[in-house]
Amino acid sequence: MSFAAPLDVTVLGATGSIGTSTLDVIARHPARYRVHALSANRSRDRLLAQCKTHRPRLAVLDREADADWLREQLADAGVDTEVRAGVEALVEVSAAREVDVVMAAIVGAAGLLPTLAAVRAGKRVLLANKEALVMSGGLFMEEVTRSGATLLPIDSEHNAIYQCLPTEHRGGLARHGVTQLLLTASGGPFRGWDASRLAKVTPEQACAHPNWSMGRKISVDSATLMNKGLELIEACWLFDAHPDQIQVVVHPQSVIHSMAAYNDGSVIAQLGNPDMRTPIAYGLAWPERIESGVQALDLFEVARLDFESPDESAFPCLRLAREAMTAGGTAPAVLNAANEVAVEAFLEGRLGFAGIGELVGRVRDACPVESADELGGILEADERARREAWTRLESR
């Protein structure tokens, strides 16, 4: 198949696991995709290597000092990439006229503004930043509708559900004969552990996921099941679902990535090896399919598929997320902000593993639920929750 011109792609969060996997898929199809811009927070060495390999038109770092360093290094290497710094630059490379596709893979609340800018500019947005929907789901989806942007979920679970639903699935699940979404979870590295064992968990243990290769923050979220809670919130917005219509199913093999149950008794599932290049390739090429570099699933090697209910008493973050989505308004933004602070404190050794859910719950109780109709109010709720979380940490 021939293409008139390659699609220009901006990769936000290029040095993380999703970003590097995206660049791997892009490199397999040089006639089809071209890198327009790459961004990183402070991983300037990794970004330098990526710029040398992929030759983007622009590169963006968080701090101007790092941008100055990268400019010098690229000039010495003879790489003609413009280097910029800061949030405004992220917003501009996300909404630039030349850009066709934006991979939104910045971890945390920092990804909201550039991802929203890409949506407002009507881009094809490959959403790997779940916090954008967690914080501002209603506003975000309204902008998708208004701008005509194409929103394709990249989280393996949401991508699986997207593949299991009809092409047009807005308007409520019942309208399309769907009775339930089954959101699978590996259970993380501590599945089956009791409270006494969880109290002794170290950051190194929490970051050692049994199936997926992920960044430290997401690995901790997977270990606490907060990642699944955030995904539940995201799924509600993506698929116009109520929290009661989504069941979390622990599936240790991570082979079935999620399922959709229909009113005729059918359950449609998407299966594959646990490799993020599969949903990334799906998003890049949709509605077509392209080679991703992922090995085909061998069911004889898998041999068995197990399922169990999540233990919400040992892992309360899942319950907290469901309650936040039910409460609505700024409750999910508060949940996300408190969790980001708690995870950072845990990784720094300032908070125990079991303290993550405890701190999130206390911040949730201390912050009133307000309207989430305006971006300014959402960002204010986010900042207020972070202050509350740090205050409680410092008073421990």
Task: Please state the rounded mean pLDDT for residues 301-320.
Answer: 95
Would you say residue 197 has pLDDT above 60? yes
Mean pLDDT (the chain) is 94
Give the tens place of pLDDT for each residue, 272-292: 999 999 999 999 999 999 999
Pick the CATH number of 328-396 from 1.10.1740.10, 3.40.50.2000, 3.30.70.20, 1.10.630.10: 1.10.1740.10
**Residue 212 has what pLDDT?**
63
* pLDDT score at 126: 98
> What does DSSP say about strands 7-12 and 101-104: parallel, antiparallel, or unpaired?
parallel
Model pLDDT for residues 343-384, shown as the tens digit of each residue: 999 999 999 999 999 999 999 999 999 999 999 999 999 999
What is the rounded average pLDDT of the residues 228-251?
Answer: 96
Structure confidence at residue 391 (pLDDT): 97
Buried b (16+ CB within 10 A) or exposed e, 113-147: bbbbbbbbbebbbbbbbbbbbbbbbebbbebbeeb
Domain ranges for the chain: 7-154, 156-275+302-312, 328-396
Q: Residues annotated in the binding site for NADPH, as ranges?
A: 15-18, 42, 129, 131, 215
Q: Which of 128, 136, 137, 177 is nearest to 157 (CA)?
A: 128
pLDDT single digits (tens) 124-176: 999 998 888 999 999 999 999 999 999 999 999 999 999 999 877 777 898 99
Tens digits of residue pLDDT in 8-45: 999 999 999 999 999 999 999 999 999 999 999 999 99
Strands, DSSP E only, in 13-149? 33-39, 58-61, 82-85, 101-104, 124-127
Annotated binding site for 1-deoxy-D-xylulose 5-phosphate: 130, 156-157, 186, 209, 222, 227-228, 231
Q: Which residues contact 185 (CB under 8 A, 6 or more apart)?
A: 225, 228, 248, 249, 250, 251, 310
CATH topology of domain 7-154: Rossmann fold (3.40.50)
Query: Which DSSP string corresponds to 213-267?
Result: ---HHHHHHHHHTHHHHHHHHHHHHHTT--GGGEEEEE-TT--EEEEEEETTS-E
395 confidence band (pLDDT: 50, 70, 90): confident
Q: What is the pLDDT of residue 1?
A: 44
Tell me what pLDDT residue 213 has: 61
Integer CA distances (angstroms), 13 to 21, 22, 213, in order: 11, 10, 15
Q: Which amino acid is at 172?
A: G
Mark the binding-site residues, compressed into ranges: 15-18, 42, 129-131, 155-157, 186, 209, 215, 222, 227-228, 231
In this prediction, residues 88-98 reach a mean pLDDT of: 97
In this structure, which amino acid lies at residue 132?
Answer: A
Q: Which residues are annotated as a binding site for Mn(2+)?
A: 155, 157, 231
Q: Tens digits of per-residue pLDDT, 32-78? A: 999 999 999 999 999 999 999 999 999 999 999 999 999 999 999 99
Q: How many CA atoms lie within 13 A of 214 on its CB side?
A: 26
